[in-house]
Amino acid sequence: MQIEEILTAHKDSERDSLIPILQEIQEAEGYLSREAVIRVGKHLDIPTSRIFGVATFYNQFRFEPTGKYHIQICRGTACHVLGSSTVLDVLEKQLKIKAGKTTRDGLFSIEVVACIGACGLAPVICINGEFHAKVNPEKIKQIVETLKNQNS
Amino acid sequence: MTNKLEKDKKFLIENLLSEKPVNKNIEDSLAEFKNEKITVPHIYVGAGTCGLASGADKILKAVETYLKDKKITAVVIETGCIGLCSSEPLLDIQIPGKNRISFEKVTEEKVADIIDKILNIELPDSKILGQFKSPKMLSWENVPFIHEHQFFKKQMRLVLKNCGIVNPVNIEEYIARGGYAPYLQTLRKKSSITVCDEIEKSGLRGRGGGGFLTGKKWKFAAGTESDQKYLICNADEGDPGAFMDRAVIEGDPHRLIEGMGIAAFGIGATKSYVYIRAEYPLAIKRLKIALEQAREYGLLGENIFGTGVNFDIKVKMGAGAFVCGEETALINSIEGKRGMPRPRPPFPAVSGLFGKPTIINNVETLANIPGIMENGYKTFAAIGTEKSKGTKVFAMSGKIAFTGLVEVPMGTTIREVLFDISGGIKDNKKFKAVQIGGPSGGCITEANLDIPIDYESIIKAGAMMGSGGLVVMDEETCMVDIAKFFMNFIQSESCGKCIPCREGTKRMLEILEGITKRPSNDNTYSALERVNGVIQLEKLSTVIKETSLCGLGQTAPNPVLSTLKWFRHEYEEHIFDRKCAAGVCTELRIFKIDVSKCTGCTVCAKKCPSGAIIGGKKTPHFVVQDKCISCGACVEACKFDAIEIL
């Protein structure tokens, strides 16, 4: 039960620890489950609705588990100018899911991020923390195919 | 800690960080720390986020494998980003007695050959970026110097001085290069008001985009009585297209820590936070290591070096909200609330974090401070223009030959930055515009390329400095699409607290979407709404600008207004001709089937989601324009290249 460990580490904490706690839980479990949010509310003595209000405000927090391969696609200005919208379209078509969702087999999930900060190598995607620079539709198809084959 | 580290620490503290004047006879020992005098080969790999994205991790593995196989003793150092992203991954090698030499666009296969040849004092057959100049070492023959490279020649690197050159998580090297001495001198010899004064006289202005005099801002907080004050470093670089803060933290975190130390002393803060984006895991990691090292040396904590000053830094991760770059929203976010701005006054300098006086500075602003303290405010004030002093780091991206970070004195023209330093437009295409200042900024066109870069001139040209991201666009970029992109970004990042921003940006986005789409049915009110929207677009912009609560809303219409000002003809082309010359707005494309090429295989007709393609088997097909939704599925499906895009 990782949540308990995280909360123990944040003993006697105040409201300002809310976001770090949620971040740590998401880091450990991949997403924020309903139970986790309720548990954090009890710990910090904040109504669950308030916590949910904070968590939904920030882009970082997810309420559904991610896929085995979590694909973050950068949609910053430089990536957009160099064609990241086409890359996103291809990705959505290929995996048959919309951004923000997870495939039914639990293999892939897509997340759109504002800017990864590697604008010099746009367009950029990041799969499970590993960056791929200068991607184009062909490259993305290849990457997804390779990952699919590894798991078939 | 090992004995050697303890010894090094003692040596550095005694000779460089104590109250005694610096001992001149230790140059030789310092050269060791600075890697200027080495006994074994040193191998440096540029491993910032951009370096890793282009494959630096594979290069590192290849280097380690090679050294292990050949049983060679060498020091491998992961540096930050030197700023030339388009040449990454970079591999530098320095052998005893010779200048450090840098190779660009290195691949795994080349690694062994490069190291092999260099160790034998030969030049490998791999693209050389250049060699670093060093007074004490022999240079390589027929190898150009890095500082003479087109990209670096005109730059003036103050903030990025160490980036890509030093080991970012080696405090010894930072101290040996003169770091932390200005910080301790300040704590020992100056009063907080002198510090604020000097920074004000240096003319340093906020590098986050606002351009407010930093020293003046500090004085507000310094002059407010309180039992507790806070300093916050804003490293939430949410502006898409800017990455200088990330590069500074990944490449030289100690410079930021030192700048924060001086700033906190100036305003009388004992606690501070770095609010950094969660999207920058590597920067967070390196910053945390650097903070540990600074604590180890007693540069942070209680009673620093016996001066009686207490100061510590906490790292807070941002959770991905662009609006948190606004200072009051950022404060709310640190307090664990939704990151929504509040009206000012009271300004944070009077009542900020937990109701206490708080100063918020951007990373680049703080990274400038140690340099000002070290070389004196007059030196800094001598750089730049009358009202904008010092240098500015720009993040170059988009359709430009050399992408990366450029640091130039204020007053340099945009043309110089674009064409002399960054090598002009990629693939010899025609320059169209450069977008500066992110979602709150605007476009600079051919007509304004010769304006000097300073806060006022850029505002006059209808853009704003912002955090300094320059996204270059060529003839293949559609400006209406760019405006739509920014509107989309702002609309989803608007916090929703005030109506003009929440609803207004949504309407603006709808209008822009209407312009970039083919009307599905001209018989309904959609056409009327589209016209109405177009007529109201400018008025709506003005209302949003004047009535929004915070900077995000007040500057939200800028990209639209700026593109309207310079590229009105593109809007007109979209509205009246329903055409996008750049071919970016896919929904305006018109498809036509080339009768001579079509074999009548019916694949396109089957793929068409709206049933817009008709034609019998083995006879040429036709596109019914009224039904076509310009999705492009037919083009992808056709094996005979028979479908043209008009």
pLDDT digits (tens, 9 = 90+) for A19-74: 999 999 999 999 999 999 999 999 999 999 999 999 999 999 999 999 999 999 99
What was the pLDDT predicted at B520? 65
**Can you say how many angstroms the Cα of residue B232 is from the centroid of all Cα atoms in its chain?**
19
Cα dihedral sign for A9, A63, B287, B167?
Answer: positive
Residues 51-80 of chain A whose Cβ lies under 8 A from any Cβ of chain B:
53-54, 57-61, 75-78, 80
**Can you say how many angstroms the Cα of residue B361 is from the centroid of all Cα atoms in its chain?**
16
Measure the CA–CA gap between B394 and B417, rounded to whole angstroms: 9
Instruction: Kindly tell me if the per-residue pLDDT of B530 is higher than 90.
Output: no
Choose, out of B107, B275, B276, B279, the residue to mutate when testing the contact with A (most A CBs < 10 Å): B279
Measure the CA–CA gap between B117 and B123, rounded to whole angstroms: 6
**Can you say how many angstroms the Cα of residue A1 is from the centroid of all Cα atoms in its chain?**
22
Band of residue B525 on the pLDDT scale cut at 50, 70, 90: confident
The residue type of B33 is F
* Mean pLDDT score, B239-244: 91
What was the pLDDT predicted at B93? 96
Q: Are A51 and A40 in contact (CB under 8 A)?
A: yes
Band of residue B523 on the pLDDT scale cut at 50, 70, 90: low
Measure the CA–CA gap between B571 and B212, rounded to whole angstroms: 35
What was the pLDDT predicted at B350? 94
Query: Per the structure block, which two tokens stand in for B5?
Result: 């580290």
Instruction: Kindly tell me if the per-residue pLDDT of B455 is higher than 60.
Output: yes
Q: Are A15 and B337 in contact (CB < 8 Å)? A: yes
Query: Per the structure block, which two tokens stand in for A60?
Result: 């970082």
What was the pLDDT predicted at B492? 93
Exposed/middle/buried for residue A57 (C-beta within 10 Å: 0-12, 13-18, 19+): buried
* Mean pLDDT score, A133-143: 91
Q: Are B336 and A16 in contact (CB < 8 Å)? A: yes
Q: Are A16 and B477 in contact (CB < 8 Å)? A: no
Query: Per the structure block, which two tokens stand in for B180?
Result: 């932390």
Residues 266-325 of chain B whose Cβ lies under 8 A from any Cβ of chain A:
277-281, 316-317, 319-322
List, for residues A66-97, the tens digit of each pLDDT value.
999 999 999 999 999 999 998 999 899 899 99
Instruction: Kindly tell me if the per-residue pLDDT of B1 is higher than 70.
Output: no
φ, ψ (nearest 5 deg) of residue A70? -95, 110
List, for residues B410-419, the tens digit of each pLDDT value.
999 999 999 9
List the beta strands (DSSP E) in A65-122: 69-74, 108-113
Measure the CA–CA gap between B247 and B237, rounded to whole angstroms: 11
Cβ neighbours, 10 Å, residue B350: 17
| pTM, to two decimals | 0.93
What was the pLDDT predicted at A139? 92
Instruction: Kindly tell me if the per-residue pLDDT of B483 is higher than 90.
Output: yes
What was the pLDDT predicted at A118? 87
What was the pLDDT predicted at B209? 83
Cα dihedral sign for B49, B50, B55, B56?
Answer: negative
As a residue count, chain B comes to: 646
* Mean pLDDT score, A116-140: 90
Band of residue A1 on the pLDDT scale cut at 50, 70, 90: low
Instruction: Kindly tell me if the per-residue pLDDT of B522 is higher than 70.
Output: no
Least CB-CB distance to A124: which of B53, B237, B338?
A: B53
Among B52-66, B509-523, B590-604, where is mean pLDDT lowest? B509-523
What was the pLDDT predicted at B108? 93
Chain B residue with Cα closest to A126:
B53
What was the pLDDT predicted at B531? 85
* Mean pLDDT score, B327-353: 95
* Mean pLDDT score, B471-480: 94
Cβ neighbours, 10 Å, residue B36: 17
Residue partners of A49: CB distance under 8 A and separation at least 6: none
Q: Does A122 touch chain B (CB under 8 A)?
A: yes
Q: Are B320 and A129 in contact (CB < 8 Å)? A: no
